[in-house]
Structure 1
């Protein structure tokens, strides 16, 4: 198994522990998007503590188009033109509340050259929303419901440049 396959397997194992389903196929697909980035934190023993990833958001991508349908033209121009899409953040349950989430977000975005960054999170996920708010993210839209989804999400954004 090469290094990338091993990393993919490791990320998938953690994702299953956190969200109870696989991320492998989606991660493989997204790894081909423009400016795809992934950041991983491992323990001293080499076990994965957490990861984050994202890419440049572009027309024709599923989530870009889904979000754009929720925004006015002014909001679209402000948030989705020259945008980095923050797709996933996962921290192993035994390592939460130790600053790893902030580190994963900040390190992933450190060299991003896009004007803005957007993400979605479940509207009732107060822990995640507070984390993002502490890092300067603001609400773009509340009560966003992706297709075929029982949960309500919020679209959050942050100006990078």
Structure 2
């Protein structure tokens, strides 16, 4: 693998590249990409929104992550709040940073890019903890999140229009680190 740089990303300028990564990693149709484009651009207007990208030597976007400070009035928070309340975890919606999306091209997964993206992003936020939602199945993504210190706060969360249930996970910041494999990427 060639050199990969991980760092802050102007996601507004690279939104179409990011949605292409998400489509290939997550299986989105062109219509879903069109709808998500507007959603991403709206999220980036939220004060405190941050994004990181992984780019190859050729400038190609290989992965990205973005998020926003959690706000109980945000759509995501209103959906997950009842599930968190049932488990006594709704206080996690206060003073947290929400990871909105994290995707890496399938050809570049399992190389540490997801870890580098999410830790890089959460290292620069001011909140003391972070939240995210992931499909509620045992997957490499969920394993990564657990290795970073995330734990399940609610399971079987149903988002409107989502066909599969999600888990809401939370972790204190900074995220846990592990020994990195030398020579894999630069930060």
Counterpart Cα distance in 1 of 2:89 and 2:129: 12
Instruction: Note if 1:56 corresponds to 2:69.
Output: yes
Question: 1:10-39, CA deviations, whole angstroms, 9 ceiling, x for partnerless residues?
Answer: 212222222324131111010011210010
Instruction: Note if 1:136 corresponds to 2:129.
Output: no
Q: What's the TM-score once normalised by structure 1's chain length? A: 0.90
Matched with 2:15 is 8
Structure 1 unmatched runs, 5+: none
Matched with 2:90 is 76
Contact preservation (8 Å) 1:123, 1:153: yes
Structure 2 unmatched runs, 5+: 1-9, 175-187
Q: How does 1:1-161 map to 2 (within 5 A)?
A: 6-19=13-26, 20=28, 21-22=32-33, 23-72=36-85, 74-77=88-91, 79-160=92-173
| Greater RCO, 1 or 2 (C-alpha within 8 Å, sep 6+) | 2
Structure 1 residue 140: Cα displacement: 0.5
Q: What's the TM-score once normalised by structure 2's chain length? A: 0.78
Question: 1:85-122, CA deviations, whole angstroms, 9 ceiling, x for partnerless residues?
Answer: 01100101111111001001101101111122111100
How many residue pairs match? The answer is 158
SS at match of 2:83: coil
Counterpart Cα distance in 2 of 1:55 and 1:106: 15
Deviates more, 1:27-36 or 1:68-77: 68-77
Which segments of structure 1 move beyond 6 Å, counting only runs of 4 or more?
none
Deviates more, 1:88-97 or 1:141-150: 141-150
Counterpart Cα distance in 2 of 1:75 and 1:90: 26
* Alignment root-mean-square deviation, CA: 1.7
